[in-house]
Amino acid sequence: MKYTLVGYGKMGQQVAGIIESSDEHEVHTVLDVDAVITEERFAGSDVIIDFTVRDAFLANLPIMLASKVPVVVGTTGWDVDMPMVRQQVATAGASLMYSANFSLGVNIFLRTVREAARMIGPFDEFDIAFSEQHHTAKADFPSGTALKAAEMIVEVNSRKKTIVSQLPTEKMINPDELQVAAIRLGSVFGQHSAYINSEFDDIVISHTARNRRGFAGGAVQAGKWLAEKHVSQPGFYTMDDFLDEVFG
């Protein structure tokens, strides 16, 4: 398969490395920050992978969709624009897959957290909170992965109604609030943890990323799946759709 990479920062370079080490894929085009984005630039590609920034992604999106080449998006920070993006994808008859984190390990971790949050739901003695740690150069706070985890917890645990990422001075957290704590520390690559507590025990579910190759490899696998899906069922997809099909 031929991949066009939009954005060639740290993640784009990792994606390129994964593709170039593969026997079945190749990098078709790399479009970095100074590139002029036109439909013609995507001609001959099977998949587009976008790791840029919010404003660049939203500006380039209509052109990418018009090319009819399936788009895998790892750019974060545009959740508020999700309804608009979904509408653009539907109107264009295009295909787009979005995930705040394409790591297969992280997505298995998220599913484990969701199941644990569901299982403790009927038992009032269990409380749950979430935390993430990243390096000091990370821009979003909390991470997109942490917010995704929080949304999954609230979805399956009826005792948690709202997500709280910051507590005002001298405010106690309410029982129906789910705290999501974020730490920015040195060069920490990425750690996410769910904490379940009762009077009798503690359960901790954690994921630690060792490098960016896990994220990049997941994006490449997702791109292959999306390209095949686009042939018969164009639309807006997530990693959950991909994994649901893989797990059957």
Tell me how far CA of residue 101 lies from CA of 24, 126, 127, 149, 190, in angstroms. Answer: 23, 28, 26, 11, 11
Q: Please say if 148 is a catalytic residue.
A: no
Contact 242, 225 (CB under 8 A): yes
Name the β-bridge partners of 204: 195
Among the options 28, 134, 207, 224, which is catalytic? 134
Q: Which two tokens stand for residue 134?
A: 């990243």
Contact 160, 113 (CB under 8 A): no
The 10 Å Cβ neighbour count of residue 226 is: 24
First CA to last CA across the chain, in angstroms? Answer: 24
Name the β-bridge partners of 27: 3
Q: Please say if 10 is a catalytic residue.
A: no
The pairing of beta strand 96-98 with beta strand 71-73: parallel
Among the options 25, 68, 135, 138, which is catalytic? 138
Please report which helix (H) or strand (E) contains residue 236, including its range: strand 236-238
Name the β-bridge partners of 207: 192
Q: 164: helix, coil or strand? A: strand
H-type alpha helices, the chain: 10-20, 54-66, 82-92, 104-120, 144-156, 213-232, 239-247
Q: Which two tokens stand for residue 91?
A: 């109107």
Residues annotated as part of the active site: 134, 138
